[in-house]
Amino acid sequence: MSADRRIEAITKRIVERSKPTREIYLDRTRRAISKGVHRSTLSCGNLAHGFAVCSPRDKDALAGDVVPNLGIITAYNDMLSAHQPFETYPALIRQAASEVGGVAQVAGGVPAMCDGVTQGQPGMELSLFSRDAIAMSAAIGLSHNMFDSSVYLGVCDKIVPGLMIAALTFGHLPAVFVPAGPMTTGLPNDEKSRIRQLYAEGKVGRAELLDAESKSYHGPGTCTFYGTANSNQMLMEMMGFHLPGASFINPGTPLRDALTKEATKRALAITALGNEFTPAGEMIDERSIVNGVVGLHATGGSTNHTIHLIAMARAGGIKLTWQDISELSDIVPLLARVYPNGLADVNHFHAAGGMGFLIKQLLKAGYVHDDVRTVYGQGLAAYTIDPKLADDGTVHRDPASEVSADPKVLTTIDKPFQANGGLKMLTGNLGKAVIKISAVKPERHVVEAPAIVFNDQQELQDAFKAGKLEKDFIAVVRFQGPKANGMPELHRLTPPLGVLQDRGFKVALVTDGRMSGASGKIPAAIHLTPEAVDGGAIAQIKNGDMVRLDAIAGTLEVLVDAAEFNARPLATVNLDDNEFGMGRELFASFRRIAGPADQGASVLF
Ligand SMILES: O=C(O)[C@H](O)[C@@H](O)[C@H](O)[C@H](O)COP(=O)(O)O
Ligand code: SF4
């Protein structure tokens, strides 16, 4: 089935725009492929070092070029509940590799930051930059050039984007992403947020708050809200980097292990040594990227992907823009209600039919390209399945249902929750920004109120505690862009702004910083570009200026006489305290060269 003509037109526009960079990328990738299996280009010394710790059987295998060697890139650490399960994956992968006569080696580890641990803390100012550091770290592992294929063990926010940048940089190799799955459901996310607001109002103490948080984040696996980490899983399935149905199976279950073994065997089956060679750089094309964006809109995915997806696509020579994302949002309806876009969590989403049901609906409507390559073979239709554990311990796939098991969580294409998707671009005399509308009540899609300007998020917290914000206002939080302080998420502003909104005040946020994918209920124009330190108009806004955020018209305006506004000097702030501490001194060059948010906020291209 061909895609909707509007989807086709946007895809074609991306293909045309990308031609110069895509052709250079594909040429380089094909030259790398033409060198054939890469161990043969190594010297005996190189090779001996590379397999020094292997068993005699594996040494024999790796001495030649006919047994595939699988490079594992792992983001295991104990800080991210989502990544802790990866501790045992290399042993499972080595075992599965040997079962099919292959070899697997850990090529390298990459750093992984938990945005939940660093939220509101200085460490968050390294978060965005960690994406590119992860790509660079993965390249260091793969540059040993011992490998015929690769598997990537990563789940969370900046990790999957960084790993995908690496996978496309090593696009001559097949790449399979192997998730660890969501935490089982704990305290519901909306109950956690309610207790946070009570704490912000001083109505409960730290003990009650910690008890609620600990019941919400209680064990191994990805946090169950639909933030950036779970948006990553959806993207990997939509773009064909996961095996069908791999995204939302809980860790420590037989089906999870079966999926990991199957991914290993599949990664070894699609090397240049076999007859299904699927190098990542040729597998992913503009249609894959568009399928990812469509999935983002249909599920109300994370705003962070208006930055990461642009950088991920660029790694493959593909130029995606906010205009593309915004226009796709106007076409693609919202089909899932998962917190913060609803009360359900990703376990409920999966139980309602999950990715297989969603993809079936999107294919039926022509909103996605079926004619794509994936790690599983040809065609996205292969992903319209429901994964189960077979009696022999392998993965069995039933056809996805036509009926949602919970229509309040996952709906059909003819009864969408919203006629359009989650993410809109806003333009106007302040620059360009994005807003996530899937989690904002319709009556709050347009906000016009006086600005109150803050130069960091603590100033807003202090003003709230001092009772100075009991009014209609638009919070302008600036000097939060990539070049200022690494573009942290300002998710800690959600509870105080939520309290004020629940008290009936009209509130909104405008910032050159980011919000969490878990943020939602407050209308927020984020990623404002140009940022304040780059001469952005946000640096000219004064307290009391009327600001209008209109997610329906797609505009963001300061309602001040243009001549008067443009004559204003740019505000400046002292950012010395953001230059050091918690390792920030090591990222000074990143702050200097980081690109703008609408081009991926990257130091790599
Ligand atoms: O983009 C995201 O999805 C967030 O960065 C998420 O990964 C982060 O962990 C949240 O901050 C956790 O939510 P709480 O801070 O509300 O626990
Ligand atoms: S989803 Fe966020 S808070 Fe949860 S483990 Fe991942 S990075 Fe940490």
Which protein residues are within 6 Å of ligand 1, measured from CB?
115-116, 119, 157, 227-229, 302, 304, 489, 491, 516-518
44 is in an annotated binding site: no
- Mutation to probe ligand 1, out of 216, 218, 491 (largest number of atoms < 8 A from CB): 491
At CB < 8 A and 24+ separation, what contacts does 25-28 make? 25/168, 25/171, 25/281, 25/316, 25/317, 26/281, 26/282, 26/317
pLDDT at 70: 98
Give distance in angstroms: CA of 401 to centre of ligand 2: 30
d(CA 176, CA 169): 14
* Three-state helix/strand/coil letters over 245-314: CCCCCCCCCHHHHHHHHHHHHHHHHCCCCCCCCCCHHHHCCHHHHHHHHHHHHHHCCCCCHHHHHHHHHH
Amino acid letter, 335: L
The mean per-residue pLDDT over the stretch 260-273 comes to: 97
Give distance in angstroms: CA of 498 to centre of ligand 2: 22
The model's pTM? 0.97
Q: Does the Cβ of 372 fall within 6 Å of ligand 2? A: no
Q: Helix, strand, coil: what percent of the chain each, to 5?
A: 45, 15, 40
Q: What would the pLDDT profile of 417-469 be if each residue is shown by its tens digit?
A: 999 987 899 999 999 999 998 889 999 999 999 999 999 999 999 999 999 99
Q: Which of 173, 178, 177, 179 is nearest to 270 (CA)?
A: 173
- Alpha carbon distances (Å) from 361 to 145, 235, 310, 324: 41, 16, 25, 22
Q: For residue 217, give the ligand 1 atom closest to its CA.
A: 17
User: pLDDT category, 1, cuts 50, 70, 90?
Assistant: low
d(CA 499, CA 194): 9
Nearest CA to ligand 2 atom 6: 156
Q: What would the pLDDT profile of 544-580 be if each residue is shown by its tens digit?
A: 999 999 999 999 999 999 999 999 999 999 999 999 9
User: pLDDT category, 534, cuts 50, 70, 90?
Assistant: very high
Nearest CA to ligand 2 atom 1: 223
Q: How many CB atoms lie within 10 A of CB 206?
A: 8
Give distance in angstroms: CA of 488 to centre of ligand 2: 15
Q: For residue 217, give the ligand 2 atom closest to its CA.
A: 4
Q: Is 178 exposed, middle or buried (0-12, 13-18, 19+ CB in 10 A)?
A: buried
Give yes or no for a contact between 292 and 309, defined as CB atoms under 8 angstroms apart.
yes
Alpha-carbon torsion angle 365, 370, 375, 376, nearest 10: 80
DSSP conformation class of 585: G
Q: How many CB atoms lie within 10 A of CB 382?
A: 16
Radius of gyration of the chain, Cα coordinates, nearest whole angstrom: 24
- Mutation to probe ligand 2, out of 84, 115, 128 (largest number of atoms < 8 A from CB): 115
Q: What would the pLDDT profile of 4-14 be if each residue is shown by its tens digit?
A: 999 999 999 99
Ligand minimally distant from the alpha carbon of residue 224: 2
> 320 is written with which tokens?
């995606």
Q: Does the Cβ of 223 fall within 6 Å of ligand 2? A: yes
Across 87-194, where does the E strand assignment appear? 103-109, 149-153, 175-177
pLDDT at 39: 86
d(CA 537, CA 551): 19
The mean per-residue pLDDT over the stretch 531-543 comes to: 98
Nearest CA to ligand 2 atom 4: 223
Whole-number percent of the chain with pLDDT over 90: 93
Supply the mean pLDDT for the chain. Answer: 96
Nearest CA to ligand 1 atom 4: 516
Q: What would the pLDDT profile of 70-118 be if each residue is shown by its tens digit?
A: 999 999 999 999 999 999 999 999 999 999 999 999 999 999 999 999 9
Q: What would the pLDDT profile of 579-591 be if each residue is shown by its tens digit?
A: 999 999 999 999 9
- Mutation to probe ligand 1, out of 117, 119, 196, 434 (largest number of atoms < 8 A from CB): 119
* Phi then psi dihedrals of residue 149, to 5 deg: -160, 170
* Three-state helix/strand/coil letters over 507-526: EEEEECCECCCCCCCCCEEE
Give distance in angstroms: CA of 341 to centre of ligand 1: 14
Give distance in angstroms: CA of 209 to centre of ligand 1: 16
- Mutation to probe ligand 1, out of 83, 113, 115, 309 (largest number of atoms < 8 A from CB): 115
Ligand minimally distant from the alpha carbon of residue 498: 1
